[in-house]
A = this chain, B = another copy of it.
Amino acid sequence: MDVDEIVRGLLNGNRRALARAITLVENDYPEGKDIMKRIFKKTGKAHVIGITGFPGVGKSTIVSKLTQEFRMRGKTVGIIAVDPGSPFSGGALLGDRLRMDGIDVNKRLWLDSGVFFRSMSSRGKAGGLSAKTGDVVRLMDAFGFNLVIVETVGAGQSEVDIIEVADTSIVVLMPETGDDIQINKAGILEIGDIYVVNKADLGGAEKTVKWLKSMLLLDDEAVRILEKMDHGSHNESVNDEILTDKLEKKAKDAIDRWIPPVIMTIADIGEGIKELADTIEKHREFMEKSGMLKKRRTVRVSRELLDLIMEDVKSRIINDTSLKFEEFVNRVVENEIDPHTAAEKIIEKLIFSKNSDTTL
């Protein structure tokens, strides 16, 4: 298949063409760029949903059930699983198998032409992750999927970057996922439009939901109260009252902004999935009406663009021998020159090397 055939195939619903295009983009083949340029006008329609959460919280099951639900609502779904991968173990491969087992609860999904699944490894590949994922989202978008779900393990900054700029970003947690501070530190409270407490049958779910709701809505003072709150002590009810007051006041102040809802699910048996799908649709509506959709897509494109530019500059620096990158590295290692001065000199060269090329 040449680029022409791939582009034509992709725009006409040929799944093999889509798969081929993704591979070309993922592996940085020049044809990938070509394809991206040519399908670009057909993009921008899909609703991009990001799902993240620590390993084991049940993201894949949620994605699977959510996909079934959206299929019943007549929507087609493209799924991208971003896998931290590992060159040693062939992580992406293992990941695929695992994820497929997870998603494969309903075998029909895999025979359904309204669903397309692809995993991407984030490790050991050249190229920026957010630009890559952005391109694969666009390919699925151009193919015509109504929804594109991007699933990542919510640990790395680059994965968080991806999810954060989805049209709708969903953070999946488990009941009592550790103490408050652990979750805070992971930055998880800042990135979600919707929070899911999965495995709600494990117990402790309501407490987690309550805590999450408070944290998502409260100011610093209230957070301090919450942190001091000795769970189970006789002071809890007093603190609860203070919190309830604060929550109500905040809720009044916040009618025209999106307060991230917290949804309990037991994805294994499909509980809470309908509510989650409803909330996703509601969020998309809010994003569109409020003008937030465009704002967020602007942030997303900024990151992608920077990512693309940085990759290009990086490869120039490593591959253009006239820049003497290696030599500078060695001189820094030998303590002959400090890294800041070395960096300045390389940047100067980077700009001047092109200079002399262009014979002004």
Residues of A within 8 A of B (CB): 33, 36-37, 40-41, 43-44, 55-56, 83-89, 91, 94-95, 98, 122-123, 131, 134-135, 153, 155-158, 178, 181-182, 184-187, 189-190, 223, 294, 297-298, 301-302, 304-306, 308-310, 312-314, 317-318, 325, 328-330, 332-333, 335, 337-344, 346-347, 350-352, 354-355, 358, 360
A343 and B187 within 8 A (CB): no
B84 and A342 within 8 A (CB): no
B186 and A347 within 8 A (CB): no
**Known pairs A56-B178, A155-B156, A305-B325 / 19 extra A-B pairs, C-beta < 8 Å:** A84-B157, A84-B186, A86-B185, A86-B190, A89-B184, A91-B185, A135-B339, A156-B158, A297-B333, A302-B329, A304-B339, A305-B332, A308-B339, A310-B314, A312-B344, A313-B313, A313-B347, A352-B354, A354-B355
B314 and A182 within 8 A (CB): no
CA distance A181 to B318 in the complex (A): 33
Nearest CB in chain B: distance from A312 CB, A: 6
* Interface pairs A-B: 7 shortest CB-CB: A155-B155, A40-B338, A89-B184, A308-B343, A351-B354, A156-B156, A86-B187
CA distance A33 to B309 in the complex (A): 25
Whether A305 touches B346, Cβ cut-off 8 Å, given contacts A185-B85, A335-B44, A340-B37, is yes
CA distance A338 to B131 in the complex (A): 12
Residues of B contacting A341 with CB < 8 Å?
Answer: 37
Residues of B contacting A343 with CB < 8 Å?
Answer: 305, 308-309, 312
* Residue of chain B at shortest CB distance from A328: B305
| 22 pairs of residues in contact across A and B, judged by CB atoms under 8 Å | A37-B338, A37-B340, A40-B339, A86-B187, A88-B184, A94-B184, A98-B181, A123-B187, A131-B339, A156-B157, A298-B330, A301-B339, A304-B332, A304-B339, A305-B339, A305-B343, A306-B314, A308-B343, A351-B354, A351-B355, A355-B355, A355-B358
B185 and A89 within 8 A (CB): yes
Nearest CB in chain B: distance from A353 CB, A: 9
